[in-house]
Chain A
Amino acid sequence: MIRIRGLSKSFGAHGVLHGIDADVEAGTIVAIVGPSGCGKSTLLRCVNALESFDAGTIEVNGIALTPSASDAATLQRLRAAVGMVFQEFHLFPHLTVLENLTLAPRIVLKRSEAQATERALELLKQVGLGDRAAAYPAQLSGGQKQRVAIARALAQPLEVLLLDEPTSALDPEMREEVRDVLRSIAAESKLTMILVTHEMRFATELAHELWVMDAGKIVERGAPKEILGSPKSDVAKEFFGRRSE
């Protein structure tokens, strides 16, 4: 499980997170929504230590992060357990799809080439790209790239998957293929997932729990349908009102 206590962060004079307290139970899927600049992506990036923070603690499956820089061993343990999917995919352009998937298992987990390849091909089949193993990222569509990026994250023995607006950079017609992949992962695995998104309908459909963020704070949390039905905070009211138009 993930336990966040008193998490604060600022970029210079500009505060981004103001004392966040939150828990995510193992196997739960949480969706975070909120206006641009509310701090939802920063919160996500703090969980796998891509961002440092100024105060508070984060504990991920017993691995504790503090404001001071964590040592290399802690980071390695954390990142073996926590995977991340980025809005802009960040595939490695100089490697084939297959090599993108086998790089970390071979180097970080010291898997053999054959072992890593076998697992990678399995994952590619799972995201519907079994035939594109030899392609380079430049040869793929946006939706295909994001599915490769998801498969790449899953090639690690994950317990937590962080998704930072996974469909925002995609053309509308490609979003569905990525949503399908995420639906099947949610259905088949026991992964804990935190999804930052603007897509309300998808968040409601996938998540067990919804957090509404505004100006660096979680202003409302609960079951997605409840919040959608009767939003209490001003932000949620305005946000869902605008979204449903």
Chain B
Amino acid sequence: MKSVLALVVLVALVTLVLATGARARIAHADTLVDVRARGELRLAADIQGGEPYVYEDEKTPGKLVGFEVDIADAIAKRLGVRAKFVQVDWSNLVPSLERSDCDVILNGLEATPDRRERILLSRAYFVYQEILAVPKASAATSLDDLRGKRVGTLNQSYAFLLLRDRPLETVLYEGVQEPYADLESGRLDGVLLESIIANRYGCGLAKVRCVEREVARGTYVVGLRKGDDALKRAIDDAIGAMIADGELRAILERWKLWDAIQRDLTSVAAPDASASPEPPIAPRTLDRAQIVLFLEGALVTLGLTCGAFAIAMPLGLLLAIARLYGGAIGRVVAATYVEVFRGTPVLLQLYILYYGLAPFIRLGPMSAAILGLGLNYAAYEAEVHRGALLAVPRGQAEAASALGLTRAQTLRHVLLPQSFRHALPAVTNDFVALLKDSSLVSVITVVELTKRMTIAAVEVRGWFVPGLLCAALYFVMSFPLARLSRRLEKRLHRDPNPRPL
């Protein structure tokens, strides 16, 4: 137990050192000097955000296009440098900026109060509306009509902040297309996202209606590190000049993004003034309510893992038996199952199960998650049990045959009780692995422990405490299990003189 404590302390220390190290790197000379010297402005963006922001040209793969690419080029030109995009996951844009992976962020970054507190924001280059999409049959015209209903949005978006404190169930997505797919298939009652996304991906769908009146209005801005005031001034001036001489309008028109509300761009010329259109949202602390949410997340993780394992164990055993004793057909079927489920990413399997099969069977997120992980892990359990069965000496089956036991009786009374002993350490191992792999199901909107941590990290504006809490909860769940398994192993061995432990 002492060594475990020491390990936890060590991990905490290393994390702390890394965290402060990252902070320390922020405070160097103004980035504008570096940018000019390099002749290159590095901008962070996520290509996955898709059309029309920053995405890969269909005709020439590798070439980036999008209205933000044009804006970036224009800004860079006015600074006398080239623009270069750096790929960063959208939800990690701000941490990545703080780590100096890039000079600025330019990728649909909404000007929100908590961002304004953490980093510098330029003046706006685009005005967006938050648009509510509902099923065509629905009579809802505002968020108030969706009380207690399921409303989807993107993780870490401004829309999420708007939904967070409302009496409805917020469902979080990583991609822009999936929430509308779920709206069409009836899994959601509404989707709240920015006008660009809503217009491109949602409003045109046959079963979807977009509410005309905007829910809120906001702006996209360039994000900069604190202390880069000179660079911020240069970019503000560049955007100001682009607005004044019509270049920005020309770019937005080229991308069919220009509308009347873009006239707001001139009025929000002074970005640091508190003229921001969005309601102020106070930062949160990691309070009791948050901790309860964490515990709920842990419970979801545990339920998910147990449920999935309850599928994986018997199915895996069945596959192992089929592969060893199932004749030609059983062998081929089981081997194919194992190779397919083991050879393709579980993330892809979850997508297919949840989105791909939605037109035929509509599984809830939790059942799809349990089934998906269960089917995937069954392939691994099959191999564990196959190996364990092969590890039982051949003489055991021969002795059973010689006593007149049928093959099924031999399996049940002689081979399996012994192979379980061989399999137990590997099975425990897989259970603990599954406990952590279960975080993958956040892609199909299940909010489990890891997802809860990433949400909390945004809300309290820091990774450290949520990260530690999350790690501690995983540990609390997996450690007793390892102990339990060790005891079970000993009991199964029934050896009065086990090897010294």
* Residues of A bordering B, CB below 8 Å: 48, 50, 72, 75-76, 79-80, 82-84, 86, 88, 90-94, 103-104, 107-108, 136, 138-139, 152-153, 156
Interface size for chain B: under 10, 10 to 19, 20 to 34, or 35 or more residues? 20 to 34
Q: How far is the CA of A86 from the CA of B396 in the complex (A)?
A: 11
The answer, yes or no, to whether B144 is at the interface (CB within 8 Å) is no
Complex Cα gap A80–B404 (Å): 6
B494 and A94 within 8 A (CB): yes
Instruction: Tell me, rounded to whole Å, the shortest Cβ–Cβ distance linking A28 to chain B.
Output: 21
Give the complex CA separation of A79 and B402 in angstroms. Answer: 6
Q: Are B401 and A50 interface neighbours, CB within 8 A?
A: yes
The verdict on B145 contacting chain A, using a C-beta distance below 8 Å, is: no
Give the dominant DSSP class at B's interface.
helix
Whether B404 contacts A79 by the Cβ 8 Å rule is yes
The interface residues of chain A, by DSSP majority, are classed as mixed
Q: Which of B404, B405, B409 has the most CB of A within 10 A?
A: B404
- For the complex, is B413 an interface residue (Cβ under 8 Å from A)? yes
**B interface vs A, CB < 8 Å?**
393, 395-396, 398-406, 409, 413-414, 417-418, 421, 492, 494-497
Additional pairs, 14, CB under 8 Å, beyond known A48-B402, A84-B402, A108-B409: A50-B401, A79-B401, A82-B402, A83-B402, A88-B395, A90-B393, A92-B418, A93-B418, A103-B413, A104-B404, A107-B405, A108-B403, A136-B495, A138-B497
- The answer to whether A86 touches B395 (Cβ under 8 A) is yes
Which of A80, A84, A92, A153 has the most chain B CB within a 10 Å cutoff?
A92
A84–B395 CA distance with the chains assembled, in angstroms: 12
**Residues of A with C-beta under 8 A to B494:** 94, 136
Query: Which of chain A's residues have a CB closer than 8 A to the CB of B492?
Result: 94
Q: How far is the CA of A153 from the CA of B395 in the complex (A)?
A: 15
How far, in angstroms, from A107 to B417 measured CA to CA in the complex?
16
Of chain A, the residue at the smallest CB distance from B420 is A94
Residues of B contacting A48 with CB < 8 Å?
402
* Inter-chain contacts of B396 with A (CB < 8 A): 90, 92
Min CB distance B85 to A, Å, is 62
Chain A residues within an 8 Å CB radius of B417: 94
Knowing A92-B396, A92-B414, say if A104 contacts B403 (CB, 8 Å): yes
Known: A86-B398, A92-B396. A103 touches B403 (CB 8 A): yes
Contact call A90/B495, Cβ cutoff below 8 A = no
Cross-interface CB contact of A86 among B399, B413, B496, B497, cutoff 8 Å: B399
* A-B contacts, 12 listed (Cβ < 8 Å): A76-B404, A83-B402, A84-B399, A90-B396, A91-B399, A94-B417, A103-B414, A107-B405, A138-B495, A138-B496, A139-B496, A156-B404
